[in-house]
Structure 1
Amino acid sequence: MVEKHIKHLLYNHDCVIIPDFGGLITRYVPARINPVKHTLVPPSKKIAFNEKLVLNDGLLISTIAYANNSSKEEARQLVISFVHEVRTRLESEQRFELTDIGVFKYNHEQKLVFEYTEGDNLLEASFGLPEIVARPIRHEEPAVLRTLIKERQAAEPAPARKPFKARLKRAYHVAAGLALTGLVGTALYMLSLQTDYNLSSLYPTSLVNDEERADEKTSSVSIPVQHEATLGQPVPTDVLDASGAGMMDGADAWGDASSNTSGQEAQYAADEFVYEKAEAVEEVAAPAPVTTTVSDKDGRFYIITGGYARMLNAEFSRQEIAENGHEAKVLEPGKGSRLFKVSVADFASAEEAQAAMNTYRKSFGENIWVYNN
């Protein structure tokens, strides 16, 4: 009798407590599809057991007393007798089945466990909904249509094979296309090796050929030309210094030599004068050695304006920056790098370099960055 009331309460309540034994808890299970059996199961309730819910909430005893028109004390005695019977059967048979709800039993650790038995659907919203079987539909063609398709396939002639010459011509065209593609790809690759690409995405500059940059460099630097004076030949005046003072000194020397010595002695004096002037020009033109390339790690912080794949292009950029009055240097690629980096200034600490960034951004843009060598 108690089992019947427990099942009835599970229809309308989410938890039914059996005093001094435990509580049965229900949870909602949505509709589901069984892909193996091809069935559609409606929503339902699944029951679990918690043996710690032993405190009497009065729900089960009040329901039994109202249904039997008896007192609550008589209903409580019925519940106590039911719990005693359940414990006795668990000790003797190691299991007790609650009809249409589940089975109580002890596990290998001698702990009470509950296994839900799917019987009646305890969800009132799904009352009357059966389990639907939905078999997959297999589309089959009519026998007459299958016969017509087979007859048509048998009547159609097999596709004629192309003659050997046509197949050979097609293979020749394919081979020629592949060869032409390979030649074009090789030419483009060789062209890319000879073309100057600026690999720095942080400081893009215009692409200029090496030959044009070399011509500009050659035209911007003045190289003194020395003419060798040969004994017994007149010395041309264009070998002297380009300034007017040099020409006047040469003329005076020539005149003094011709007036005080003979023709041969004058020739020797002029030759010696030319050599002395040439040596003086070389001494004046030779610049003081300045370190413009950094190849080793020095721990300093450089403000970099751009990176280049070739040393020649980096040197051109350094010269342009140096012409504006900055001490530009070229940092050779370190380990794991292939770029020649051009710096506009270097500092002993990162704070000093970051502080100077705003000043250099006015001249070199927002794409400069600090590099720790």
Structure 2
Amino acid sequence: MTLATYISDLLYRYECVIVPNFGGFVTNEISAKVNHFTHTFYAPSKQLTFNANLQNNDGLLANYIASSENISYSKALDNIYKEVESWENILKNEALSIENIGTFSINSNGNYIFEPANTINYLTSSFGLNNYNSPAIKRIEYKQKVKQLETIAPVLPTKESTRKTPAFIKYAASAAILFALGTLGWNEYQKTEYNNLVAESEQQQQQVEKTIQEATFVIANPLPAITLNVTKQTYNYHIIAGAFREPLNAEKKLNELVEKGYNAKILGVNKWNLTQVSYASSNSKNEAINTLNNIKRTISKDAWLLVKEY
């Protein structure tokens, strides 16, 4: 393998790979983007840059080469120096192309100019995602065509055409007018009847509501009032089985202890936002200590005593 291959392997796992006496390759993660002019979608990737000031050996590249080729660390470091010397000799006369990394050249000031290669995406989470070109969506604009209506001159009846109108047409026209008037009258009648029914129903409903509001219910033999005094039972000593970040885990522990016969309960959330679950609680300090010692011997050495009123 060449030095370029080892650098490429490490760029998948690390954000910076330093080549001693040459410089460091630094990656920066960039999100997905789209080129609206070429209609190209680009997957998330690592942007590769070069920093000539990072030349101190951090041991990452040399150790990787030594373990891969089964050679000593010093031998791997010598191989790196030889490869770097070869790169510098090439750059004196022409541009240097490093496979899957990029191209180097030297400007008039003697500084390195680095052009990264775009053939490999070093972001492992984007493995298998390639650039995608999508054709532009053409939206067809439909223009409404206005149809021009031609003006038609009305035909006025003449005396001759009036005299030639058949009699049955006159009778048919008269019948149509009478039918229309009769239909209109019937519709108005039905509408009036419907309105009268609605008004009558509303009046009856109002009367019923008024009767209900005025009604008075009298119980001849009322029952005597009962006063209940309920005293909340509190305890001061609690044998703690555990404190849980997730309330669901506290519920599971509670069910587990109840199945084993313990009078377990959830005490609530403490100041560290942990839900506490107890084996049992008591108002007697001696009873609580005896129960705790028994649980430590037989069930769990992690049980402990909490003194607080619950």
User: TM-score normalized by structure 2?
Assistant: 0.45
Larger helix percent: 1
Between structure 1 and structure 2, the one with the greater Rg is: 1
Higher relative contact order (CA 8 A, sep 6+): 2
